[in-house]
Structure 1
Amino acid sequence: MPRTSAHHALASFAAVLLLVTSSVFANAAPEITLRTGDPAPKLSIKKWVKGEPVKEFEKGKVYVIEFWATWCGPCVAAMPHVSELQAKYKEKGVVVIGVNIWERDLTKVEPFVEKQGDKMAYAVAMEEPIAGSPTRGRMATDWMAAAGRNGIPSSFIVDQKGIVAWMGHPMKMEKPLAAIVAGTYDPKAQAAFDTKVEELSKQASEATRAKEYDKAIAIRDSLAALDPDTAGIQKLYKVSLYMQKGDSQAAGALADELLAAAEKNKDGRLAANLAMTMLSMPGSEKSDPARALKAATLAYDLSEKSVAYQRLLAQAFARNGKFDKAIELQQKVVEATNPPLKEREQKVLDEYRKS
């Protein structure tokens, strides 16, 4: 059975927690208009930062569209692997294009790419912006949002016929890419797999919306069994479901299991996901603030104190009534954020100061 980071099982949503905290566990599944087997949307590029520009997809070539941002730790971690794949398959007609999206400060993109050097050994581009949308451009909308993908890094493989053959995490990309290049890939099997995952995800959302929490939990278990790559994210959904159900014991036990795994594997992304679940997702008002603070602290420490996780840690301190620490951290977030998002962060800081 094909393995992919399925449309609704968003394996790396912590990378965008400042942008989509309300969308990850939304009760209603987003409308999906781009699936595997569909013609690839066009490239909407504002500027080519590195490599040879690509105006359109050429038949006979395979393209990898890799979505990333400068502030995304998992994106940076995946770049050497993506570079290796470009080098390995270049002579076989594979073209990798790294497309920057969801960037809070566009002035950081070119210096970042230059600093990466050979760690980012493929074409790099900045997406065409959308008027009135400071962090979502044309590529993020026509590709990521259309496919129901809210986490980066995220890769799309466009086959020799211009069809979206695969989408998922770049670290899971080598096997399908090799098969697509060799002409042995089965897009129908992948499409059928994705459709099944999509249908189960829809059922889970509907059950959650109807407050049928036990049913939703069972469906999340089915999704984890169907696609083991998403087992972690399904457990995070279950933490939220247990909280909504009012089963604090089950929620706490599963949260402790996830936190232990994050500590053992030094997985800051998982710790951040857990903290966000307990602080912002449905049912979070019933979560244990101390656990949330422990998870947020671990995420912050493992991320080398990134601004993205700084905001999360400030929120955790505030939830625990430690507003002096929350104010100190949130002030740094405000100072590091550019307009128009700066105003939003200032409002959060003002709320902490009132408490």
Structure 2
Amino acid sequence: MNLSMESQAPAIQAQNWIGGEPLANCQPGKVYVLEFFSTTCGFCVGPMLNLIQLQEKYRDRGLEVVGVAAEERAATADEAQANLEAWLTEKVPRLNFRVGIDCTGEMKKLWKEASFSFGLPCSFVVDRDSRIAFIGHPTELDDVLPKVLDGSWRSSDQAKAADRKRIAKGREDVFLSKISAAVKLKDWKTALSAIEEGIALLPDSLQLRMAHAHLLLLKMRDMQTGLAVLRQLVRDAIDRNAEDWLLGLLSQLFGPKYDDMDFPSVERLAMGKELSEHILALTGLKDEVKASYYRAVAPYYYESGNKARAEELLELALKVGDGVPVPDNIKQLWLNDVLQTLANYKGEKVSHGALWAAPKENVPNGATPKAEKKNPA
């Protein structure tokens, strides 16, 4: 059974409960959030704490939050419960909703696998008609819940678009998992078959399209077919003018994975030129997009021999990136990466505000003083 928006909510098949009475089914007239989490999931604590606040905020409007521990790693159900109780006491001490424990795999099968949901944490919202209204990451609940509670969410274009995107991502993950398993076994035929099947079903999947080129070029060493696939992917990225496609293709062309293979340099630089010139001609971009683009196209100019232009673009990325409104820790990591690349290109110590970097040797993509001799400005 496939589970998506509009589906009737499945049964709740938990064997043990913490913090409340057993619940077998979602009751009409109430709105439920079923939160799948695990004590081994490092990203689950924050959402659980936020759910405490949401339960308190919307309790009077008929919300009931239910935690679901369906992926505990324990030898017995009793051990799973003991581990979970200790984890909740430490991490979620003010728990105000019940938590069900399932060690049979039924909840995972009925809810997560049926909806192509594979990661943790994962939230399911069931509306007052006992139908699935939302499946996704708990960070989206602050926006979604009020609309589910007032009955406007499920019929909205936003909800339908979100569910289509989620289903496509879930199907993509299924194919990527099959591909990964085949690649580990060096079963190129099975991997290629899975990729081709996935692309036929999901032609808009950048991950599958890039995996196709990666497999042909790096694993199967089929340069003729692989280059044709990559050329088409570059053209499609430009036609779509989508940021993730453009950045993804530049990363694939100039990332370290192609350094030790017989990838024709002329072909790679020609594709890099086409992408880079298209990107730099774009106008009306937000600063965060500009900064990402400047960083992404710099390796093309460095490898093509235009060292001065590569350095100029990295300096522009640093300047524009300063004003991007992102958390300081994320910004600093990004600035450090750009500054380090600039130091490698220049072959000397560089600084930006309080940050500085010295050049490193043996860096992929010729970003070292040694490689500069091969790629003179």
Question: 1:29-68 residue pairs with structure 2 within 5 A?
Answer: 33-68=2-37
- 1:226-245 alignment to 2 at 5 Å? 240-245=211-216
C-alpha deviation, 1:102, in angstroms: 1.3
Question: In the alignment, what sits opposite 1:151?
Answer: 119
Deviation at 1:121, TM superposition (A): 3.1
| Aligned pairs (5 A) from 1:264-343 | 265=330
The amino acid of 2:204's aligned partner reads I
Task: Identify the residue that residue 252 of structure 2 maps to in structure 1.
Answer: 251
Maintained 8 Å contact 1:35/1:191: no
Quote the RMSD (CA, aligned, Å): 4.1
Partner of 2:97: 122
Shift of the 253–37 alpha-carbon distance from structure 1 to 2, 3 Å rule, reads: farther
SS of 1:74's equivalent? coil
- Superposition pairs for residues 27-106 of structure 1, below 5 Å? 33-105=2-74, 106=80
The worse-fitting range, judged by mean Cα deviation, of 187-196 and 41-50 is 187-196
Q: Is the 2:172–2:205 contact (alpha carbons within 8 Å) kept by the matching residues of 1?
A: no
Range moving further from structure 2, 161-170 or 184-193: 184-193
Partner of 1:109: 84
Any idea what SS the aligned residue of 1:70 has? coil
Match of 2:205 in 1: 220
Equivalents in 1 of 2:139, 2:161: separation in Å? Answer: 22
Name the CA shift for 1:218/1:264 in 2 (closer, same or farther; >3 Å): farther
Q: Distance in 2 between matches of 1:214 and 1:56?
A: 35
Give the superposition deviation at 1:157.
0.4
Q: Distance in 2 between matches of 1:203 and 1:72?
A: 22
For 1:5, the equivalent position in structure 2 comes to: none
Task: Answer whether contact 1:36 1:164 (CA < 8 A) is retained.
Answer: yes
Could you tell me how far apart the structure 2 residues matched to 1:35 and 1:142 are?
12
Cα distance, 1:172–1:200 mapped onto 2, change above 3 Å: closer
CA displacement 1:277-317 (0-9 Å, x = unmatched): xxxxxxxxxxxxxxxxxxxxxxxxxxxxxxxxxxxxxxxxx
Contact persistence 1:64–1:157 (CA under 8 A): yes
Q: Quick one: higher RCO (CA 8 Å, sep 6+), 1 or 2?
A: 1
Letter of the 1:121 partner, please give it.
N
Aligned length: 214
Percent identity (aligned): 27
Contact 1:72/1:152 (<8 A) preserved: yes
**In the alignment, is the contact (CA less than 8 A) between 1:239 and 1:254 conserved in 2?**
no
- Give runs of aligned pairs for residues 158-169 of structure 1, distance below 5 A: 158-169=126-137
| Residue number in structure 2 paired with 1:171 | 139
- Taking the aligned partners of 1:148 and 1:122, their CA distance within structure 2 comes to 26
Residue identity in the other structure for 1:43: I
Paired with 2:150 and 2:256, the residues of 1 have a C-alpha distance of 43
Q: Is the 8 A contact 1:79 1:119 kept in 2?
A: no
| Offset from partner CA, 1:89-109 (integer Å, 9 cap, x none) | 111110000100211121411
Deviation at 1:126, TM superposition (A): 0.4
SS of residue paired to 1:73: coil
In the TM superposition, what whole-angstrom CA distance separates every residue of 1:13-53 from its partner, at most 9, and x where no partner exists? Answer: xxxxxxxxxxxxxxxxxxx6111100000110111112343
Output the amino acid matched with 1:181.
Answer: L
What amino acid sits opposite 1:219 in the alignment?
D
Give, in angstroms, the shift of residue 219 of structure 1: 1.6
Seen in structure 2, the aligned counterparts of structure 1 residues 254 and 238 have a Cα distance that, compared at 3 Å, is: farther
**1:114 partner letter:** T
Counterparts in 2 of 1:242 and 1:75: CA distance versus 1, 3 Å:
farther
Shift of 1:208: 6.3
Aligned partners of 2:169, 2:195: CA distance in 1, in Å? 16
Q: CA deviation at 1:73?
A: 0.6
The equivalent residue for 2:264 is none
TM-score, normalised via structure 1 length? 0.51
Q: Which runs of 5+ in 2 are unaligned?
A: 75-79, 177-190, 220-249, 258-291, 297-325, 332-377
Offset at residue 185 of structure 1 (A): 1.6
Displacement of 1:215 in angstroms is 6.3
| Offset, 1:201 | 7.1
Query: How many angstroms does 1:78 deviate by?
Result: 1.5
Q: CA deviation at 1:264?
A: 5.6
TM-score, scaled relative to structure 2: 0.48
> In the aligned structure 2, how far is the partner of 1:42 from the partner of 1:88?
26
Residue type of the partner of 1:245?
A: L
* Equivalent residues of 2:115, 2:167 under 8 A apart: no
Alpha-carbon distance, 1:193 to partner? 5.0
